[in-house]
Homo-oligomer: A and B are copies of this chain.
Amino acid sequence: MASGNSNFLSGVPELMILRLVQDQEMYGYEIVQAIQAQSRGQLSFGEGVVYPVLHGLEKDGALKSQRREVGGRSRVYYSLTSRGVRRLFDLTDSWTATTQAIQAVLKGGSALRTV
């Protein structure tokens, strides 16, 4: 049910996916639900968001995939490559820096009052 992801989410799916796959290899459908669960329903990226990002990351060499049959189900498991690890670090840094910068502006002109 959870939906209505109002904005502020550009680039976030990629970051979330890389982070989740860092802990353990996962498949697309699982990732969709993990994001909902771990964000307590706040975030909800549909399969139309997740699958294209997975394919893009694999194409860029940040993820590697492995198709596997589990209980009569065909799943595509993804895991991080060394390149993906680097990418995750970079994105995390970028995320931190960006949110801090935004916070600085939200807080007010403290940077100006330093005069």
Contact = CB atoms under 8 A, between A and B. Distances in A.
A14 to B, nearest CB: 8
Given A19-B106, A43-B105, A98 B38 contact: no
A74 interface: no
A10 B100 CA distance: 16
A9 B105 CA distance: 14
Contact of A42 (B9, B10, B101, B109): B101
A111 B38 contact: yes
Interface in A1-20: 6-12, 15-16, 19-20
Given A8-B99, A19-B105, 6 more contacts: A7-B11, A7-B94, A8-B95, A10-B10, A16-B105, A43-B98
